[in-house]
């Protein structure tokens, strides 16, 4: 299993993140794409600019995170919002393929206060079905993450969404820290999700550094090994007052388990 880190954990511009991640010893980086995506180097300068950053640092892009879904949810009742996030995710699928990143994290966000749970889930399924062919053609995975306030907080909910889409281009991005926050057992959920897991976020809860909190990290790694998981483990840990030192600690902790 490769170990990567999100750009927010190091709190640096993208080019510096690739450099620092490579120096610390990570296998690659996950870049968050927020609602300001048009201002990122990816949109302003193109995928080749991001490729140059990674190459210069001797690093690698492992994944994108479509954080824009928090402002542009596929469950939105607004047709214009759904069209924009559909276009963004289609573009990201192409960019990911060009840059050699196999996974796009897609948080299962809510559509708004007036959207019922049933309507929200239905729209997510419809939008993922519409996006699946592009993901498949680019050989990338739109991986739905268990996040709060949405329709995929549990393994059962994620299974319902993914199995309804029925595409290898739509799978699960499992977050063991979020699962613990929702009072779900990550070990049991990993076993339940099995081959649907395309990528994993690692963080602790009630502890800034790995191993200091409540999350069953060693047991979760063991469960992943038991189901034959060989994908990426991406740190989504707090930057703390010293982001580099925290990243170094967390990488050492995780390397000892993998």
Whole-number Å distance between alpha carbons of 75 and 40: 25
Phi, psi of 110 (to 5 degrees): -75, 160
**Class of residue 190 by CB neighbours under 10 A (exposed 0-12, middle 13-18, buried 19+):** buried
pLDDT value at residue 104? 98
Kindly indicate the confidence band of residue 244, based on its pLDDT and cuts at 50, 70 and 90. Answer: very high
Contact status, residue 129 vs residue 165, Cβ threshold 8 Å: yes
DSSP 55-115: HHHT--EEEEE-GGGGTS-TT-S-HHHHHHHHHHHHHHHHHHHHHT--EEEEE-----TTS
**Span 16-63, pLDDT tens digits:** 999 999 999 999 999 999 999 999 999 999 999 999 999 999 999 999
What are the tens digits of pLDDT across the range 173-216? 999 999 999 999 999 999 999 999 999 999 999 999 999 999 99
- pTM value? 0.97
Q: Rounded to 10 degrees, what is the CA torsion of 103, 108, 109, 113?
A: 160
Structural contact between residues 86 and 131, judged by C-beta atoms closer than 8 angstroms: yes
pLDDT at res. 30: 98
Q: Distance between CA atoms of 128 and 248, rounded to whole angstroms?
A: 36
For residues 213-221, average pLDDT: 98
Contact at 8 Å (CB) between 175 and 201?
yes
Per the document, the length of the chain is 258
Burial of residue 171 (number of CB atoms within 10 Å: 0-12, 13-18, 19+): buried
pLDDT bracket for residue 102 (50, 70, 90): very high
Answer positive or negative: Cα dihedral of 55, 234, 247, 152: positive
Residue-level pLDDT at 12: 95
Mean pLDDT (the chain, rounded): 97
**7 closest CA partner among 42, 34, 31:** 31
CATH architecture of 2-255: Alpha-Beta Barrel (3.20)
What pLDDT sits at residue 130? 98
């Amino acid at each position: 299993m490769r170990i990567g880190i999100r750009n927010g954990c190091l709190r640096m511009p993208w080019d510096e993140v690739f450099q620092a991640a490579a120096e610390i010893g990570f296998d690659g980086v996950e870049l968050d794409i927020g609602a300001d995506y048009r201002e990122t180097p990816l949109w302003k300068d193109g995928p080749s600019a991001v490729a140059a950053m990674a190459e210069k640092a001797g690093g690698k892009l492992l994944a994108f995170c479509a954080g824009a879904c928090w402002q542009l949810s596929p469950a939105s009742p607004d047709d214009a919002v759904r069209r924009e996030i559909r276009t963004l995710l289609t573009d990201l699928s192409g960019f990911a393929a060009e840059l050699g990143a196999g996974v796009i994290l897609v948080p299962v966000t809510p559509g708004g206060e007036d959207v019922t749970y049933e309507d929200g889930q239905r729209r997510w399924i419809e939008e993922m079905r519409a996006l699946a062919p592009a993901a498949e053609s680019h050989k990338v995975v739109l991986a739905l993450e268990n996040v709060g306030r949405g329709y995929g907080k549990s393994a059962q909910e994620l299974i319902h969404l993914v199995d309804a889409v029925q595409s290898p281009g739509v799978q699960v991005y499992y977050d063991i820290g979020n699962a613990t926050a929702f009072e779900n057992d990550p070990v049991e959920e990993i076993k339940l999700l099995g081959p649907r897991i395309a990528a994993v976020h690692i963080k602790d809860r009630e502890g800034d550094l790995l191993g200091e909190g409540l999350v069953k990290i060693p047991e979760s790694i063991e469960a992943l090994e038991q189901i034959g998981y060989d994908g990426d483990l991406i740190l989504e840990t707090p930057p703390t007052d010293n982001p580099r030192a925290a990243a170094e600690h967390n990488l050492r902790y995780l390397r000892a388990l993998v």
